[in-house]
Amino acid sequence: MSLRPAFTSSLVLLLLVACASDPLPAEDDPAASADTITIRGELSYLPRIALPPDAEAVVELRAGPAPSGDIFAQRQIALDGRQVPVPFTLEVDRADFQPGRVHVFQGALISSGQSGWISAPEVIDAAARSHDLGTIMLERDMAPPLAVRLKCGGREARVVHGGDQVVLEADGMRFTLRPVEAASGARYRRPGDARTEYWNRDGRATLRVQGEDWPECELLPDEPVLVARGNEPGWRLDLDAETLTLSWDYGASSLAATTPDAVRSDRVTSYGARVGERRLVIAIHDRLCADDMTGMPYPKQVIVSLDDRTLRGCGGEPQELLLGEWVIEDLDGRGIVDDSDVTVAFSEDGTLGGRGSCNSYGGSYMLTGEGLSVSQLHSTLMACAQSLMAQERRLFEILQQAYRFEIDDDGALILHAGDGRTVTARR
């Protein structure tokens, strides 16, 4: 469930922003407090893991849900070897807040341009004079390794990118490769062994395994059968048809194994394996699960038993729960106009649409590990009865401010807007 792209994409901009260190405006300075909103607190995390020497703190404010909202205030703080907790102050011009939009604060600790620890989004009230967020506990940003399959003539291999190395799996063997200089593309070679290398150039790749040159390779996405994760302690499971990888304690420990045969019973799929001296059991339940940090719903509940330790969390893709058409039965607790036709439908390609009461409409949506955002709403321009037009306006307003969704115990979809309003729909 990761926000790293939000911080990574804005890193270049952050490097151009001066690290403001002016003192907070005094509480008795009415001119300063009238024009600015002060956000203060400190960033920390629980595990005893030291930050690298080049670590920096980043705090930012967005108009709209993270990570898709527009950044309008941000600050970068060089730590110079300091460890958590990291105090911060962010002063924002009140005029920069956008009426009618949710405003979200987020903090992270980054190193070498990558987010290592990140906070859950925090909604900021634009009407308040200041916000003291206290100690914000960060979670390890455990981004999945990028894996691709290589189709090389009639042969196949697999490459998993992680940090400054790749792991090549070919002919039942596994090699760790590191980057070497290349005239173009990305080239990796086994240290001390030029007979094994992988070279990716513009989506085509060449592969040499123990001195044997394979036919030119086509890169294909390697999508896992299941990704599951949980909190306290942060853990992540990647499971595909061939390999399972488990990391826990916020990425401090990990293991990998060949995926064992699945045992399926009523709404439960189980895997059992012995990895070295460790006993691993995975149970995947086909029932609704909500992330206990963000509230994001997932289609599967996952329980991992590692020796005498039990890890609980959620798995699958939240999008699976959204797809298809929903009939809207309530807008902000006020019901809907009798016999009105109001729907919303979500598609796999990230588009949504439906009937708004009077007009047909469409738009785009995005899911992240923390929430949902809707953008680019448009509709036809028919005129209808005033009650239907007013209802349609309310629907569009709520959709444009949506920042999360849930599925209740009765299977109803509830979309939550930043201003507290909701849309309730059923299949």
DSSP string computed for 25-93: PPTT-HHHHHHEEEEEEEEE-SS--PPPTT-EEEEEEEESSTTTSEEEEEEEEE-TT--S-EEEEEEEE
pLDDT given at position 162: 60
Amino acid code (one letter) for 2? S
Res. 27: pLDDT tops 70: no
Question: 362 pLDDT exceeds 70?
Answer: yes
Q: Which pTM does this prediction carry? A: 0.54
Q: Per mean pLDDT, which range of 220-229, 239-248, 325-334, 371-380 is the poorest?
A: 220-229
pLDDT average, residue stretch 206-212:
94
Whole-angstrom CA distances from 383 to 94, 357, 378, 387, 392 are 37, 11, 15, 11, 11
For 320-426, CATH gives 2.40.128.270
| Model confidence band, residue 382 (pLDDT cutoffs 50, 70, 90) | very high
Q: Tell me how far the alpha carbon of residue 183 is from its chain's centroid.
A: 34
Task: State the Cα–Cα distance between residues 44 and 46, nearest whole angstrom.
Answer: 7
Select the more confidently predicted residue: 265 or 19: 265
Closest listed residue to residue 330, CA positions, set 319, 318, 340: 340
Q: Which CATH number fits domain 149-219: 3.30.70, 2.40.128, 3.40.50, 1.20.950?
A: 2.40.128
Count other Cβ atoms within 10 Å, centred on residue 187.
Answer: 18
pLDDT tens readout for residues 230-289: 988 889 999 987 889 999 988 888 898 888 888 888 789 999 999 989 999 999 999 999
Q: Dihedral sign, CA of 198, 202, 204, 206?
A: negative
Q: Where in the chain is the domain with CATH 2.40.128.270?
A: 320-426
* pLDDT single digits (tens) 281-299: 999 999 999 998 888 999 9
Per the CB < 8 A criterion, the answer to whether 406 and 296 are in contact is no
Is 80 exceeded by the pLDDT of residue 64?
Answer: no
Distances (CA, A) of 284 to 225, 257, 268, 287: 12, 18, 6, 9
User: The tokens of 186 are what?
Assistant: 């990305």
Task: Tell me what pLDDT residue 385 has.
Answer: 95
- Among the ranges 83-92, 166-175, 183-192, 223-232, which has the highest mean pLDDT value? 83-92
CA pair distance 183, 319, nearest whole angstrom: 41
User: What is residue 54's predicted lDDT score, i.e. its pLDDT?
Assistant: 79
Q: How large is the average pLDDT for residues 155-176?
A: 80
Closest to 187 (Cα-Cα) out of 196, 179, 176, 175:
179
The pLDDT assigned to 69 comes to: 64
Instruction: Give the pLDDT score at 164.
Output: 57
Q: What pLDDT sits at residue 8? A: 38
CA distance 239 to 203: 25
**Mean pLDDT across the stretch 46-54?**
76
Closest C-alpha among 359, 393, 353, 392 to residue 376: 353
**Cis status, amide bond into 85, omega within 30 of 0:** yes
**pLDDT tens across 335-344, in order?**
999 999 999 9
Residue 361, pLDDT above cutoff 80: yes
**Percent of residues, the chain, with pLDDT higher than 70:** 85
Longest dimension (CA), the chain: 77
- Quote the mean pLDDT of the chain: 83
Q: What is the C-alpha radius of gyration for the chain, rounded to an integer number of angstroms? A: 25
- Give pLDDT tens digits for 66-83: 555 678 899 989 998 899
**pLDDT at position 26:** 32
Say what the pLDDT of residue 67 is: 56
Q: What pLDDT, on a 0 to 100 scale, did the predictor assign at position 183?
A: 77
DSSP-assigned letter for residue 103: E
Q: Give the pLDDT mean for 5-16.
A: 35
For residue 199, the tally of other CB atoms under 10 A from its CB is 18
Contact at 8 Å (CB) between 397 and 377?
no
Higher pLDDT, 169 or 392: 392
Q: Are 104 and 95 contacting, i.e. CB atoms less than 8 angstroms apart?
A: no
Most confident residue range from 55-64, 156-165, 184-193, 381-390: 381-390
Per-residue pLDDT at 5: 39
412 by Cβ neighbours in 10 Å (0-12 / 13-18 / 19+) ranks as: middle
**pLDDT score of 7:** 44
Instruction: Give the model's pLDDT for residue 51.
Output: 80
Please tell me the class of the 37-140 domain: mainly beta
